[in-house]
Amino acid sequence: MQIISASYIKSSAIYTQCPPADKAEYAFIGRSNVGKSSLINMLCDKKGLAKISSAPGKTQLINHFIINDLAKDNTKAKQGKSWYLVDLPGYGYAKVSQKQRKSWTSMIEDYILKRTNLGNLFVLIDSRHEPQKIDLEFVDQLGEWQVPFAIVFTKADKNKPGATVKNVQMFMDALNENWADAPPHFVSSAIRGDGRKEVLDFISDLN
Ligand code: GDP
């Protein structure tokens, strides 16, 4: 899929404030610093679209972007449907209060379970680390909720040869202990552009 345009629309504190659910949307979530903003900017080929390393845990908002906004230019209609890309607030910040943690949980739970046009959730996992409890717990929760999700292993360029494959395998093995059907997974590097085509083609197939 080609990305012709990508623009910020709005930030919402609760799913009911999100834009009308009139087109499919694909959301990105992960631990703070996992490389979510960098991945979004790489996918959209637009530096500065999502804010890289904004103040950790400060604002917890659901950020909507519109991709390939056909309403603005009919000649682009050939390129396929427009869709929303959603940047969700990350988890695992060290410095957030119990109250903030709770509000994150209910905001995300509501969004994931009630946003009717959510086509897929991409859970980002840092490929440099062995499986982390916080990530496995989050993914297990998604499995229990039975929401469609895929995993994107980030920062592959930072690994020594073999380390990415090893960490990905360990994570997928850990998931397989609880779930019979492994979710789709991708390996990415925001620096090299790895995974861009694969993730966009996956979205295109769902769209
Ligand atoms: P976020 O908090 O999940 O949005 O993470 P950011 O996108 O802000 O990235 C956190 C840090 O990791 C920043 O210093 C990025 O430059 C760096 N980073 C993110 N993705 C990659 C990547 O694919 N490769 C490398 N080498 N660094 C990355």
Q: What is the pLDDT of residue 58?
A: 55
Is ligand 1 within 6 A of the CB of residue 37? yes
Q: Of ligand 1's atoms, which has the minimum distance to the CA of residue 156?
A: 23
Residues in Cβ contact with 133 at an 8 Å cutoff, skipping those fewer than 6 apart: none
For residue 115 and ligand 1, the question of a CB distance below 6 A is answered with: no
What is the number of the ligand 1 atom nearest to the C-alpha of 52?
A: 8
Asked if 122 and 199 touch (Cβ cutoff 8 Å), the reply is yes
Report the separation in Å between the CA atom of 127 and the middle of ligand 1, taken as the mean of its atom positions.
Answer: 12
What pLDDT does 178 receive? 85
User: What is the Å distance from ligand 1's center to 66 Cα?
Assistant: 22
89 Cβ inside 6 Å of ligand 1 = no
* Ligand 1 neighbourhood includes 159 CB (under 6 angstroms): no
Residues 13, 130: Cα–Cα separation, whole Å = 33
What spacing in Å lies between the alpha carbon of 207 and ligand 1's midpoint? 27
Please measure the distance between the N-terminal and C-terminal CA atoms of the chain and give it in whole angstroms: 10
pLDDT of 35 reads 95
Shortest-distance Cα residue to atom 25 of ligand 1: 155
Q: How far is the CA of 202 from the centre of ligand 1 (A)?
A: 22
Q: Locate the ligand 1 atom nearest the alpha carbon of residue 41 and give its number.
A: 7
How would DSSP label each residue in 144-196? HHT--EEEEEE-GGGSPTTHHHHHHHHHHHHHHTT-SSPPPEEE-BTTTTBTH
38 ligand 1 Cβ < 6 A: yes
**b/e for 78-113, b at 16 or more Cβ within 10 A?**
eeeebbbbbbbbbbbbeebeeeeeebbeebbeebbe
What distance in angstroms lies between residue 136's CA and the mean position of ligand 1's atoms?
A: 21
How buried is 160 (Cβ within 10 angstroms: 0-12 exposed, 13-18 middle, 19+ buried)?
exposed
CA angle 36, 41, 42 (to 5 degrees): 95
Distance (Å, whole) CA 126 – CA 109: 22
Residue 87 in tokens: 């940047």
Structural element, H or E, at residue 140: helix 133-145
Give per-10-residue mean pLDDT for the chain (207 aa). Answer: 92 95 97 94 94 60 92 59 94 81 91 97 97 95 94 97 96 91 95 97 95
Q: What is the pTM of this model?
A: 0.94
Ligand 1 neighbourhood includes 189 CB (under 6 angstroms): yes
Domains of the chain: 6-206 (3.40.50.300)
